[in-house]
A and B are shown apart, each in its own frame.
Chain A
Amino acid sequence: MLSLIVVTVVAALSASFLQLSSAVTRRQARARETKEAFYLADAGLAEAYAGMVIGKTGNVGSAAAPVLFGHGMFWVTATAVSPGVVTLESTGVRGNARVRLDLVLERGAGGMAALGIFADEALEVPAGAQIDGFDSSAEALGGLGGLGGGFLGGLGRGGTDPEPVPARVGSNGDVIVRSTPESPTEIVGDVAPGPSGHVVVEGDAVITGSTVARPQSEELPPPAPPVIPQEGGLDATDGQTVVLPAGEWGFTAVRLAGGAELVIQGPSTLLVDTLRATEGAALVFDTSGGAIALYVRTALELAAGTAVQTTVGDATRLAIDLAEAAGAVLDATGAFHGVVYAPRSTVSVGAPFELFGALVAQRIQLANGVRLHFDQALLTAAVVEEVPAQLSWRIVEMAALVPGATQADPFRVLGLDRNALGPPAAGHADQLLEIEYVDGALVIRTYTGMESAFDWTDVVQVIEARRDGELVLSLTELARLLDPASFHFLMR
């Protein structure tokens, strides 16, 4: 009897002990697997995001064919939820744990500056106009040409005679190019009229590139004014030099009398109602310290006889935005490196005003003999504009793969053959790849086709690559361009 009692008590205690410790062990094992699955899902978001930065779709693997990573797996699905907004949903699985994370990204519009010399209404290129392109980024790197960098000089490309960089001229309507024997017109690059527009060439105007109409009209959204208090006007009198140091400035009217000089130092953002410079005045944009953004509400007038100067030959560092119905008259003398964007107004450009960058307006009036140079660095800047930016991140679900089970083999549960699954780098969705590259024999080659059929191991240097028609850059290029101190397009 005594032994019976003792044995019963011992059995009860033991059972209770074992039950509790088993329950705790199971719960903690589940917690550990959940943590592992969480970081696998996090890895999926990183993989997908990094892929989108270089032009991939954001889809990595799938529920039917995830990618192997660590001791588990993940897959990522990219969904466009609205124009420019993409959701990446990443699922990480480890043991019996499944975690789903969600990352919402916003892609920029691509930058209007990539349009080059563009008018919403019909564009007339007058006689004597010289329009071409150049690449300020390549010149900054030593002039070895384009996006290819170091190799091209030694391969017979670039070097002392770089290939001409094409300009971009376009319109949502017709483009009329006039030329006379006394004032011949040359456009080195492409001219793209609107979908129902035409390129009309009068005289012996030379257009070296394509004249194919664009497939659809370009929308020119109005620029957003900066929120800066405007504290009265700014008057610079004869002989006076006014220096605006880096910062935010708001004025109603800025007037530069003859003999006055206004120096704007970057990084700066200015909001003005009007900016008028009369003959003899000088306007200097000092972008050596950073980018300058100027927003004009009513009128921008650089009269004939004024001088304009930008200290750094990089069009990505200077942007002038004009509000609706704000006109601009650019008759100043000098080299202007920047972008003028006036989607709802008219910009007049005189012959002494030499533009290096881009000009996008509702109407463009060009004087005879005008010289315009499209900066191809704006194209790469546009790619940066399209680099997806994070809007939000959240945990969607943390659950058991098999509810109620202590453990599970996820491969068996999901019906997967582990040996048929690949690593994350091989899991990105297939895309159309157009690439110009240097191979192992130092020969320049091109390829157009699905990326899955392309052998990247033979590539030594990428000259230019596009995925699904979109230009892509390596991180080296992007890292240089993503420095917010010198690039204002990141400000959204």
Chain B
Amino acid sequence: MGTTSRSVRRPAAAAGPHRGTTLLELLVVLTIVAVAVGILSRIVVSTSRLRETNREGAVAMEAARTVLEEMRAWPLAEVYARYNADPADDPDGPGTAPGDRFAVDGLTPFDPAAGGRAGSVVFPAGAAPVSSGGIGGRSGLPGGASGGTSVAAPLVLREDVSLPLLGMPRDLNGDNIVDGEDHSADCLLLPVQVRVEWQGSNCPRSVDLFTMLTFFVRTQ
């Protein structure tokens, strides 16, 4: 009868080089690594998207600002004619003015009917007054309610249009009266909204700039 030795399951810490890594442990490691790399990839992709989102927002805002600054350079009486949807009233000749829509590099408009132009200029405009005589033209109706006319009749600057974000309705030509007349050429104050609306990575997005224009008399 001699000494009996039993094989003792050594603790893993005491495993020698010949202990090795089991396939299961390897698989677990690979799984953890795969998940980690997957998360990293998603973060990279999300961050790229975020960068793209930021870029789009900045580009949109800069485009809106550029349009507003260009608008400021014109005499007030010409601003509406240059930046409305009617090319016939462009001061330098039909079709020569920028109009009410503008393209923004790299941004696809949300509205397919926008013709590739994500930006728009919004004025307090409505249908031309139905009658120019009578009592100060107050019989005119805003918003194209003139009835019986052909489509796309040119809109005019009107004081009685309801656009709360632009502070409308209000007096625009300084006579303190809110009427339905055409004030396209005699406004003292012109509220304007420049909007850029585009199809973002995940959803439609927009930026707006609101301001008012007036004529500032300068000292000589």
Chain A residues in the interface with B (C-beta under 8 A): 2-3, 6-7, 10, 13-14, 17-18, 21, 24-25, 28-29, 31-32, 35-36, 39-40, 42-43, 46-47, 49-50, 53-54, 67-72, 103, 106, 387-391, 423-425, 440, 442, 456-457, 459-462, 465, 473-476, 478-479, 482, 490-492
Contact with A along B147-180 (1 / 0, CB 8 A): 0000000000000000011110011011111100
| The residue from B40, B44, B188 contacting A50, defined by CB atoms under 8 A apart | B188
Taking a contact as CB atoms under 8 Å apart, the answer to whether B57 and A32 are in contact is: yes
- Would A43 and B212 be within 8 Å (CB), given that A6-B36, A390-B218 are in contact? yes
| The residue from A36, A50, A476 contacting B209, defined by CB atoms under 8 A apart | A36
Q: Could you jot down 19 A-B contacts, CB within 8 Å?
A: A6-B36, A10-B40, A18-B47, A32-B57, A35-B61, A39-B210, A40-B211, A46-B212, A50-B212, A70-B208, A106-B219, A390-B218, A423-B167, A423-B170, A460-B138, A461-B136, A474-B175, A474-B176, A492-B220
| The residue from A7, A460, A473 contacting B136, defined by CB atoms under 8 A apart | A460
| The residue from A2, A54, A490 contacting B188, defined by CB atoms under 8 A apart | A54
- Would A69 and B178 be within 8 Å (CB), given that A474-B173, A479-B186, A492-B219 are in contact? no
| The residue from B47, B176, B177, B211 contacting A17, defined by CB atoms under 8 A apart | B47
- Which residues of B lie under 8 Å from residue A478 when comparing CB positions? 174
Taking a contact as CB atoms under 8 Å apart, the answer to whether B57 and A43 are in contact is: no
CB distance from A5 to the nearest CB of B (A): 10
- Whether a CB of chain A sits under 8 angstroms from the CB of B114 is no
- Which residues of B lie under 8 Å from residue A462 when comparing CB positions? 175-177
- Which residues of B lie under 8 Å from residue A39 when comparing CB positions? 65, 68, 209-211
CB distance from A94 to the nearest CB of B (A): 9
- Which residues of A lie under 8 Å from residue B208 when comparing CB positions? 36, 70-71
- Would A459 and B176 be within 8 Å (CB), given that A49-B216, A71-B210 are in contact? yes
B72's nearest neighbour on chain A, judged by CB, is A42
Taking a contact as CB atoms under 8 Å apart, the answer to whether A390 and B176 are in contact is: no
Taking a contact as CB atoms under 8 Å apart, the answer to whether A456 and B211 are in contact is: no
- Which residues of B lie under 8 Å from residue A457 when comparing CB positions? 178
- Which residues of A lie under 8 Å from residue B171 when comparing CB positions? 425, 456
Contact with A along B180-220 (1 / 0, CB 8 A): 00000011110101000000000000011111111011111
| The residue from A17, A67, A460 contacting B135, defined by CB atoms under 8 A apart | A460
Taking a contact as CB atoms under 8 Å apart, the answer to whether B218 and A31 are in contact is: no
| The residue from A423, A474, A492 contacting B164, defined by CB atoms under 8 A apart | A423
CB distance from B178 to the nearest CB of A (A): 7
- Would A482 and B217 be within 8 Å (CB), given that A43-B211, A476-B186 are in contact? yes
Instruction: With a 10 A CB-CB cut-off, give which of A10, A387, A389, A459 has the most chain B CB atoms.
Output: A10
- Whether a CB of chain A sits under 8 angstroms from the CB of B33 is yes
CB distance from B165 to the nearest CB of A (A): 6
CB distance from A470 to the nearest CB of B (A): 14
A72's nearest neighbour on chain B, judged by CB, is B210
| The residue from B32, B50, B178 contacting A456, defined by CB atoms under 8 A apart | B178
| The residue from B54, B191, B219 contacting A28, defined by CB atoms under 8 A apart | B54
Taking a contact as CB atoms under 8 Å apart, the answer to whether B173 and A475 are in contact is: yes
A48's nearest neighbour on chain B, judged by CB, is B214
| The residue from A50, A387, A460, A490 contacting B189, defined by CB atoms under 8 A apart | A50
Q: How far is the CA of A40 from the CA of B33 in the complex (A)?
A: 52
CB distance from A374 to the nearest CB of B (A): 26
- Would A14 and B210 be within 8 Å (CB), given that A389-B218, A423-B164, A425-B171 are in contact? no
In addition to A46-B211, A388-B217, A482-B217, 6 A-B residue pairs with Cβ atoms within 8 Å of each other are: A28-B58, A70-B166, A389-B216, A424-B170, A460-B138, A462-B177
